[in-house]
Amino acid sequence: MPRRICTDAAAISVRTMPPPDFTFEAKSLTSAQRDTFTSDAKLAYSTLDKIRGELEIPASELRLIVTDDLAASVREHQRNAEEHFSPERPYGVVAAKNLPQDDEWQRVVIVFHAAAWSGHVGGQDRFHALGLICHELAHPILERQRRAAGVLKGTDRPCTPTEFARSISRIGYDEYRADSMADIFLARTMSKTVEGVRSPAIMWDLDGPALVDGLRVLLSRLYPLLPDAVQTYREWRLTLDELWAEVINQSEGVVTGFAHARAHADAVEPPPPLLNADGIRDLPFVGLFLRDTMPPYLDAMRTGALLVPVGEFAAVDACVVVDGEGMLREIWRRLGLTFTEVDGQREFGIHVGEPLR
Protein backbone atom coordinates (compact mmCIF):
# COMPACT_ATOMS: atom_id res chain seq x y z
CA MET A 1 0.00 0.00 0.00
CA PRO A 2 1.16 3.59 -0.56
CA ARG A 3 2.93 5.11 2.43
CA ARG A 4 1.77 8.36 3.98
CA ILE A 5 2.66 10.86 6.70
CA CYS A 6 -0.16 11.47 9.16
CA THR A 7 -0.31 15.21 9.90
CA ASP A 8 -3.16 17.66 10.22
CA ALA A 9 -3.92 19.57 7.00
CA ALA A 10 -3.88 22.76 9.09
CA ALA A 11 -0.15 22.27 9.49
CA ILE A 12 0.33 23.78 6.03
CA SER A 13 0.22 27.31 7.48
CA VAL A 14 2.22 26.63 10.66
CA ARG A 15 5.75 28.04 10.93
CA THR A 16 7.57 26.53 13.88
CA MET A 17 11.03 27.89 13.08
CA PRO A 18 12.50 30.81 11.11
CA PRO A 19 12.72 30.08 7.37
CA PRO A 20 16.01 29.38 5.57
CA ASP A 21 18.33 32.07 4.32
CA PHE A 22 17.99 32.89 0.62
CA THR A 23 20.70 33.87 -1.84
CA PHE A 24 19.85 34.69 -5.45
CA GLU A 25 22.90 34.47 -7.71
CA ALA A 26 20.83 34.00 -10.88
CA LYS A 27 20.65 37.06 -13.08
CA SER A 28 17.99 35.33 -15.19
CA LEU A 29 15.32 35.68 -12.48
CA THR A 30 12.90 38.57 -12.34
CA SER A 31 11.81 40.07 -9.04
CA ALA A 32 8.49 38.25 -9.34
CA GLN A 33 10.22 34.93 -9.93
CA ARG A 34 12.43 35.43 -6.89
CA ASP A 35 9.33 36.18 -4.85
CA THR A 36 7.68 32.99 -6.14
CA PHE A 37 10.65 30.87 -5.14
CA THR A 38 10.84 32.50 -1.70
CA SER A 39 7.15 32.12 -0.88
CA ASP A 40 7.01 28.52 -2.13
CA ALA A 41 10.15 27.57 -0.21
CA LYS A 42 8.83 29.13 3.01
CA LEU A 43 5.55 27.26 2.64
CA ALA A 44 7.24 23.91 2.01
CA TYR A 45 9.73 24.50 4.81
CA SER A 46 7.06 25.32 7.38
CA THR A 47 5.16 22.13 6.56
CA LEU A 48 8.20 19.85 6.65
CA ASP A 49 9.60 21.52 9.75
CA LYS A 50 6.44 20.76 11.69
CA ILE A 51 6.79 17.08 10.74
CA ARG A 52 10.45 17.19 11.76
CA GLY A 53 9.55 18.63 15.16
CA GLU A 54 6.82 16.08 15.81
CA LEU A 55 9.29 13.25 15.15
CA GLU A 56 11.95 14.96 17.34
CA ILE A 57 14.47 15.08 14.50
CA PRO A 58 17.20 17.71 15.08
CA ALA A 59 16.92 20.80 12.93
CA SER A 60 19.34 22.00 10.25
CA GLU A 61 20.39 25.54 9.44
CA LEU A 62 19.58 25.94 5.74
CA ARG A 63 20.80 28.32 3.08
CA LEU A 64 19.07 28.14 -0.30
CA ILE A 65 20.98 29.40 -3.34
CA VAL A 66 19.40 29.90 -6.76
CA THR A 67 21.95 30.03 -9.56
CA ASP A 68 22.26 30.09 -13.33
CA ASP A 69 25.30 27.77 -13.15
CA LEU A 70 24.51 24.76 -10.96
CA ALA A 71 27.85 22.98 -11.42
CA ALA A 72 29.90 26.07 -10.57
CA SER A 73 27.85 26.88 -7.50
CA VAL A 74 28.05 23.30 -6.26
CA ARG A 75 31.82 23.30 -6.65
CA GLU A 76 32.01 26.56 -4.72
CA HIS A 77 30.03 25.30 -1.74
CA GLN A 78 30.95 21.62 -1.48
CA ARG A 79 33.24 20.74 1.43
CA ASN A 80 35.72 18.77 -0.67
CA ALA A 81 36.80 21.11 -3.44
CA GLU A 82 38.35 18.23 -5.38
CA GLU A 83 35.22 16.09 -5.37
CA HIS A 84 33.84 15.72 -8.89
CA PHE A 85 30.32 16.93 -9.57
CA SER A 86 28.29 16.63 -12.73
CA PRO A 87 24.53 17.23 -13.04
CA GLU A 88 24.35 14.38 -15.55
CA ARG A 89 23.00 11.11 -14.13
CA PRO A 90 22.08 7.76 -15.72
CA TYR A 91 18.42 8.61 -15.00
CA GLY A 92 18.52 12.28 -16.08
CA VAL A 93 19.89 15.70 -15.15
CA VAL A 94 19.68 16.97 -11.57
CA ALA A 95 18.22 20.43 -10.97
CA ALA A 96 19.35 20.92 -7.36
CA LYS A 97 21.94 19.62 -4.90
CA ASN A 98 22.16 19.32 -1.09
CA LEU A 99 25.62 20.22 0.23
CA PRO A 100 26.20 19.49 3.94
CA GLN A 101 28.70 21.84 5.55
CA ASP A 102 29.53 19.50 8.45
CA ASP A 103 29.47 15.78 9.25
CA GLU A 104 26.10 15.87 11.02
CA TRP A 105 24.19 17.97 8.46
CA GLN A 106 23.66 20.74 11.01
CA ARG A 107 24.36 23.33 8.32
CA VAL A 108 23.30 22.65 4.74
CA VAL A 109 23.53 24.65 1.53
CA ILE A 110 20.97 23.66 -1.11
CA VAL A 111 21.72 24.88 -4.62
CA PHE A 112 18.89 25.16 -7.16
CA HIS A 113 19.23 25.72 -10.89
CA ALA A 114 17.31 28.86 -11.79
CA ALA A 115 15.88 27.38 -15.00
CA ALA A 116 12.99 25.86 -13.07
CA TRP A 117 11.80 29.40 -12.28
CA SER A 118 13.21 31.65 -14.99
CA GLY A 119 11.50 29.69 -17.78
CA HIS A 120 7.95 30.11 -16.57
CA VAL A 121 5.51 32.33 -14.71
CA GLY A 122 3.11 29.73 -13.31
CA GLY A 123 0.92 26.71 -13.97
CA GLN A 124 2.40 23.30 -14.74
CA ASP A 125 6.01 24.43 -14.52
CA ARG A 126 5.47 26.02 -11.12
CA PHE A 127 3.94 22.73 -10.01
CA HIS A 128 7.17 20.89 -10.84
CA ALA A 129 9.27 23.64 -9.25
CA LEU A 130 7.29 23.42 -6.02
CA GLY A 131 7.76 19.66 -5.95
CA LEU A 132 11.50 20.13 -6.48
CA ILE A 133 11.74 22.54 -3.55
CA CYS A 134 9.91 20.17 -1.22
CA HIS A 135 12.01 17.20 -2.33
CA GLU A 136 15.27 19.03 -1.64
CA LEU A 137 14.09 20.43 1.71
CA ALA A 138 13.21 16.89 2.79
CA HIS A 139 16.77 15.60 2.44
CA PRO A 140 18.29 17.43 5.44
CA ILE A 141 15.50 16.03 7.63
CA LEU A 142 16.17 12.50 6.41
CA GLU A 143 19.93 12.84 6.86
CA ARG A 144 19.61 14.39 10.32
CA GLN A 145 17.30 11.56 11.36
CA ARG A 146 19.76 8.92 10.18
CA ARG A 147 22.63 10.47 12.13
CA ALA A 148 20.52 11.16 15.21
CA ALA A 149 19.56 7.46 15.18
CA GLY A 150 23.25 6.51 15.22
CA VAL A 151 23.08 4.75 11.85
CA LEU A 152 25.86 6.81 10.25
CA LYS A 153 28.76 8.64 11.83
CA GLY A 154 30.86 11.08 9.85
CA THR A 155 31.00 11.45 6.07
CA ASP A 156 33.50 8.84 4.94
CA ARG A 157 32.85 8.09 1.31
CA PRO A 158 32.07 4.44 0.52
CA CYS A 159 35.11 2.39 -0.43
CA THR A 160 34.39 -1.34 -0.26
CA PRO A 161 31.65 -3.21 -2.18
CA THR A 162 29.73 -3.62 1.10
CA GLU A 163 29.91 0.11 1.78
CA PHE A 164 28.82 0.96 -1.76
CA ALA A 165 25.91 -1.49 -1.64
CA ARG A 166 24.68 -0.04 1.64
CA SER A 167 25.22 3.55 0.52
CA ILE A 168 23.31 3.05 -2.74
CA SER A 169 20.50 1.33 -0.83
CA ARG A 170 20.19 4.33 1.49
CA ILE A 171 20.36 6.79 -1.42
CA GLY A 172 17.43 5.04 -3.09
CA TYR A 173 15.47 4.93 0.17
CA ASP A 174 15.92 8.64 0.78
CA GLU A 175 14.98 9.51 -2.81
CA TYR A 176 11.82 7.45 -2.39
CA ARG A 177 10.91 9.19 0.86
CA ALA A 178 11.76 12.69 -0.38
CA ASP A 179 9.61 12.21 -3.50
CA SER A 180 6.78 10.77 -1.40
CA MET A 181 6.92 13.75 0.95
CA ALA A 182 6.85 16.11 -2.03
CA ASP A 183 3.74 14.38 -3.41
CA ILE A 184 1.98 14.61 -0.05
CA PHE A 185 2.77 18.32 0.08
CA LEU A 186 1.62 18.91 -3.49
CA ALA A 187 -1.64 17.04 -2.87
CA ARG A 188 -2.37 19.36 0.06
CA THR A 189 -1.49 22.58 -1.70
CA MET A 190 -2.30 22.05 -5.40
CA SER A 191 -5.32 20.71 -7.22
CA LYS A 192 -6.47 19.57 -10.65
CA THR A 193 -9.87 19.68 -12.30
CA VAL A 194 -10.97 16.83 -14.57
CA GLU A 195 -14.43 16.95 -16.16
CA GLY A 196 -15.51 19.52 -13.61
CA VAL A 197 -14.30 17.49 -10.62
CA ARG A 198 -11.58 19.04 -8.47
CA SER A 199 -9.09 16.77 -6.67
CA PRO A 200 -5.54 16.87 -5.23
CA ALA A 201 -2.73 17.07 -7.80
CA ILE A 202 0.27 14.72 -7.72
CA MET A 203 3.34 14.26 -9.90
CA TRP A 204 2.02 11.09 -11.55
CA ASP A 205 -0.80 13.14 -13.10
CA LEU A 206 1.70 14.94 -15.31
CA ASP A 207 4.77 12.71 -15.31
CA GLY A 208 3.52 9.13 -15.06
CA PRO A 209 4.10 8.17 -18.72
CA ALA A 210 7.45 10.00 -18.78
CA LEU A 211 8.64 8.21 -15.63
CA VAL A 212 7.79 4.81 -17.08
CA ASP A 213 9.41 5.71 -20.39
CA GLY A 214 12.50 7.00 -18.58
CA LEU A 215 12.89 3.65 -16.82
CA ARG A 216 12.41 1.85 -20.11
CA VAL A 217 15.15 3.89 -21.78
CA LEU A 218 17.53 3.41 -18.83
CA LEU A 219 17.00 -0.36 -18.64
CA SER A 220 17.13 -0.80 -22.41
CA ARG A 221 20.55 0.83 -22.41
CA LEU A 222 21.97 -1.25 -19.56
CA TYR A 223 21.74 -4.45 -21.57
CA PRO A 224 24.11 -5.05 -23.17
CA LEU A 225 26.07 -2.05 -21.78
CA LEU A 226 27.00 -3.57 -18.41
CA PRO A 227 27.71 -7.15 -19.56
CA ASP A 228 29.72 -5.67 -22.44
CA ALA A 229 31.75 -3.55 -19.99
CA VAL A 230 32.63 -6.65 -17.98
CA GLN A 231 33.62 -8.52 -21.12
CA THR A 232 35.67 -5.55 -22.32
CA TYR A 233 37.67 -5.72 -19.08
CA ARG A 234 38.16 -9.46 -19.52
CA GLU A 235 39.66 -8.72 -22.94
CA TRP A 236 42.11 -6.21 -21.41
CA ARG A 237 40.47 -3.22 -23.10
CA LEU A 238 39.25 -1.60 -19.86
CA THR A 239 40.94 -1.17 -16.48
CA LEU A 240 39.44 -2.65 -13.34
CA ASP A 241 39.00 0.80 -11.83
CA GLU A 242 37.10 1.94 -14.93
CA LEU A 243 34.89 -1.14 -14.84
CA TRP A 244 34.09 -0.80 -11.13
CA ALA A 245 33.30 2.92 -11.50
CA GLU A 246 30.89 2.16 -14.36
CA VAL A 247 29.18 -0.62 -12.41
CA ILE A 248 28.73 1.63 -9.35
CA ASN A 249 27.47 4.56 -11.42
CA GLN A 250 24.91 2.49 -13.29
CA SER A 251 23.85 0.58 -10.17
CA GLU A 252 23.07 3.84 -8.41
CA GLY A 253 21.21 4.99 -11.52
CA VAL A 254 18.98 1.91 -11.54
CA VAL A 255 18.19 2.15 -7.82
CA THR A 256 17.57 5.89 -7.91
CA GLY A 257 15.53 5.75 -11.10
CA PHE A 258 13.24 3.10 -9.65
CA ALA A 259 12.99 4.94 -6.33
CA HIS A 260 11.80 8.14 -8.04
CA ALA A 261 9.27 6.37 -10.24
CA ARG A 262 8.04 4.05 -7.48
CA ALA A 263 7.47 6.94 -5.06
CA HIS A 264 5.32 8.88 -7.52
CA ALA A 265 3.49 5.74 -8.65
CA ASP A 266 2.67 4.95 -5.02
CA ALA A 267 0.74 8.21 -4.72
CA VAL A 268 -1.87 6.61 -7.03
CA GLU A 269 -4.52 4.18 -5.78
CA PRO A 270 -4.04 1.43 -6.74
CA PRO A 271 -0.31 1.91 -7.44
CA PRO A 272 0.56 1.07 -11.07
CA PRO A 273 3.26 -1.55 -11.79
CA LEU A 274 6.79 -0.67 -12.85
CA LEU A 275 8.85 -3.85 -13.12
CA ASN A 276 5.83 -5.46 -14.75
CA ALA A 277 4.82 -2.43 -16.81
CA ASP A 278 4.34 -2.70 -20.55
CA GLY A 279 7.63 -2.01 -22.30
CA ILE A 280 9.67 -2.84 -19.19
CA ARG A 281 8.86 -6.38 -18.02
CA ASP A 282 10.24 -8.06 -21.14
CA LEU A 283 13.53 -6.14 -21.29
CA PRO A 284 16.61 -8.40 -21.08
CA PHE A 285 18.13 -6.47 -18.17
CA VAL A 286 14.93 -6.86 -16.17
CA GLY A 287 14.65 -10.57 -16.84
CA LEU A 288 18.30 -11.33 -16.13
CA PHE A 289 19.09 -8.96 -13.27
CA LEU A 290 16.05 -7.31 -11.65
CA ARG A 291 12.84 -9.35 -11.76
CA ASP A 292 13.66 -11.48 -8.72
CA THR A 293 16.29 -9.30 -7.01
CA MET A 294 14.60 -5.88 -6.80
CA PRO A 295 11.13 -6.63 -5.33
CA PRO A 296 12.36 -7.32 -1.75
CA TYR A 297 14.18 -3.99 -1.70
CA LEU A 298 11.22 -2.08 -3.10
CA ASP A 299 8.91 -3.82 -0.61
CA ALA A 300 11.20 -2.84 2.27
CA MET A 301 11.11 0.83 1.20
CA ARG A 302 7.32 0.76 0.91
CA THR A 303 6.48 -1.11 4.12
CA GLY A 304 5.29 0.70 7.23
CA ALA A 305 5.31 4.42 7.93
CA LEU A 306 7.08 6.80 5.60
CA LEU A 307 8.70 8.58 8.55
CA VAL A 308 9.17 7.17 12.05
CA PRO A 309 10.49 8.68 15.30
CA VAL A 310 14.26 8.76 15.69
CA GLY A 311 14.23 5.91 18.18
CA GLU A 312 12.61 3.56 15.66
CA PHE A 313 14.63 4.51 12.61
CA ALA A 314 17.69 2.26 13.03
CA ALA A 315 15.55 -0.88 12.76
CA VAL A 316 13.76 0.42 9.65
CA ASP A 317 17.03 1.44 8.03
CA ALA A 318 18.55 -1.99 8.72
CA CYS A 319 15.70 -3.79 6.94
CA VAL A 320 16.01 -1.60 3.86
CA VAL A 321 19.80 -1.87 3.75
CA VAL A 322 19.82 -5.67 4.15
CA ASP A 323 17.49 -6.11 1.18
CA GLY A 324 19.28 -3.44 -0.86
CA GLU A 325 22.69 -4.94 -0.24
CA GLY A 326 21.43 -8.41 -1.11
CA MET A 327 19.91 -7.10 -4.35
CA LEU A 328 23.07 -5.32 -5.47
CA ARG A 329 25.43 -8.14 -4.58
CA GLU A 330 23.33 -10.56 -6.62
CA ILE A 331 23.17 -8.18 -9.59
CA TRP A 332 26.94 -7.78 -9.42
CA ARG A 333 27.42 -11.57 -9.12
CA ARG A 334 25.36 -12.09 -12.25
CA LEU A 335 27.54 -9.52 -13.98
CA GLY A 336 30.50 -11.74 -13.08
CA LEU A 337 31.77 -9.71 -10.11
CA THR A 338 32.53 -11.28 -6.73
CA PHE A 339 34.60 -9.81 -3.93
CA THR A 340 37.05 -10.51 -1.16
CA GLU A 341 36.97 -7.96 1.67
CA VAL A 342 39.30 -7.52 4.65
CA ASP A 343 37.29 -6.84 7.81
CA GLY A 344 38.07 -3.53 9.47
CA GLN A 345 40.68 -2.48 6.92
CA ARG A 346 38.54 -1.17 4.04
CA GLU A 347 40.51 -3.37 1.66
CA PHE A 348 38.97 -5.58 -0.99
CA GLY A 349 39.62 -7.54 -4.12
CA ILE A 350 37.38 -7.88 -7.20
CA HIS A 351 37.16 -11.18 -9.03
CA VAL A 352 35.78 -10.92 -12.57
CA GLY A 353 34.14 -13.82 -14.36
CA GLU A 354 31.85 -14.21 -17.34
CA PRO A 355 28.72 -12.01 -17.22
CA LEU A 356 25.26 -13.51 -17.46
CA ARG A 357 23.65 -13.08 -20.86
Same-domain check for residues 180 and 305:
yes
Instruction: Assess if residue 314 is contained within a domain.
Output: yes
Residue 156 lies in a domain: no
Residue 123 has pLDDT above 80, yes or no: no
Out of 148, 176, 199, a domain closes at: 148
* Domain-ending residue, one of 148, 176, 204: 148
Burial state string for 9-20 with b = 16 or more CB within 10 A and e = fewer than 16:
eebeeeeeeebb
Neighbours of 69 (CB within 10 A): 14
Q: Are residues 142 and 38 in the same domain?
A: yes
Residues 210 and 316 in one domain: yes
Are 144 and 188 in the same domain?
no
64 with 126, same domain?
yes
Q: Report CA torsion sign: 266, 268, 273, 278.
A: negative
pLDDT at position 197 is: 81
Q: Give the pLDDT of residue 24.
A: 96
291, pLDDT greater than 70: yes
Q: What are the DSSP calls for 93-125, one per residue?
A: E-SEEEEESSTT-SEEEEEEETHHHHT-SSTHH
15/84 same-domain check: yes
Asked whether the predicted pLDDT for residue 281 surpasses 80, the reply is yes
At which of 148, 175, 199 does a domain end?
148
| Residue-number span of the structural domain to which 331 is assigned | 164-352
Each residue of 135-191: pLDDT tens digit?
999 999 999 999 999 988 765 788 999 999 999 999 999 999 999 999 999 998 888
CB 275 within 8 A of CB 265: no
The answer on 334 and 198 residing in a single domain is yes
Same domain, 92 and 26: yes
